[in-house]
Amino acid sequence: MNHELLGKPDFPIVKVSLASGESMVAESGAMVAMSSSVSIKTEARGGILQAAKRSLLGGESFFVNTFTAGGAAGEVYFAPATTGDLEHVALNNTDLIMSRGAFVCSSPGVAVDSKWGGFKALFAGEGLFFLKVSGSGDVFFSSFGAIHKVAVNGEYIVDTGHIVAFEPSLTYGIDRVGGLKSLFLSGEGLVCRFRGTGTVWVQTRNQNSFAAWADQFRRVERSSSSDD
Amino acid sequence: MNIDIKYNPSYAMALVQLADGEQIQAEGGAMMSMSANVAIETHRATKKGGLLKSLKAAFLGGESFWMNTFTANGGAGEVALAPTLPGDVKLIQCAGTLFVQSSSYLAGSPALEIDTKFQGMKGFFSGESLFFLKVSGSGPLLISSYGGIEEIQVQGEIMVDTGHIVGFQEGLEYQVRKLGGWKSFFLGGEGLVCHFRGSGKLWVQSRNIPAFTKWLGEKLPPKQR
Which of B179 and A23 is assigned the larger pLDDT? A23
Average pLDDT score over chain B: 85
User: For residues B16 and A81, what is the distance between their CA atoms, to the nearest angstrom?
Assistant: 30
Record: contact B35-A178, CB cut-off 8 A: no
Q: Is B151 buried (19+), middle (13-18) or exposed (0-12) by CB count in 10 A?
A: exposed
Mean pLDDT of B154-173: 92
Mean pLDDT of A34-58: 82
Phi, psi dihedral angles at B109 (to 5 degrees): -65, 140
Question: Which has the minimum average pLDDT: A32-41, B113-122, B128-137, B177-186?
Answer: B113-122
Name the minimum distance, in Å, from the CA of B144 to any CA of chain A.
13
Question: Which has the minimum average pLDDT: A189-193, B40-44, B163-167, B183-187?
Answer: B183-187
Q: How many CB atoms lie within 10 A of CB A94?
A: 14
- pLDDT higher than threshold 50 for residue A132: yes
Question: Which has the minimum average pLDDT: A105-114, A206-215, B128-137?
Answer: B128-137
- Strands annotated E in A48-203: 64-69, 74-78, 86-98, 103-106, 110-116, 129-142, 147-159, 163-166, 171-176, 190-203
Q: What is the spatial order of strands in the sheet that A31-34 belongs to?
A: A2-6, A13-18, A74-78, A31-34
Candidates A202, A217, A226, partner chain B, best to mutate (most B CBs within 10 A): A217
- Say whether B186 sits in a helix, a strand or coil: helix
User: For residues B26 and B67, what is the distance between their CA atoms, to the nearest angstrom?
Assistant: 6
Phi, psi dihedral angles at A36 (to 5 degrees): -75, -15
Q: What is the pLDDT of residues A148-205, one digit of tens each?
A: 999 999 999 999 889 999 999 999 888 777 766 666 666 767 788 999 999 999 999 9
Q: Is A205 on the interface with B (CB under 8 A)?
A: yes
User: For residues B191 and A9, what is the distance between their CA atoms, to the nearest angstrom?
Assistant: 34
Supply the DSSP symbol for A169. T
- Domains of chain A as residue ranges with CATH: 2-214 (3.60.160.10)
Record: contact A157-B223, CB cut-off 8 A: no
Record: contact B11-A205, CB cut-off 8 A: yes
Q: Residues near A134 by Cβ (< 8 Å), separated by ≥ 6? A: A91, A94, A95, A96, A110, A111, A113
Q: What is the pLDDT of residues B169-216, one digit of tens each?
A: 998 998 887 777 776 666 666 667 889 999 999 999 999 888 888 888
> In this predicted complex, what is the ipTM?
0.84
pTM score of the predicted model:
0.87
- Residue B128's pLDDT is 41
Name the minimum distance, in Å, from the CA of A125 to any CA of chain B.
14
Supply the DSSP symbol for A61. -
- pLDDT higher than threshold 70 for residue B49: no
For A169-181, b/e burial (b = at least 16 CB within 10 A) is ebebebbbbbeee
Average pLDDT score over chain A: 86
- Domains of chain B as residue ranges with CATH: 2-217 (3.60.160.10)
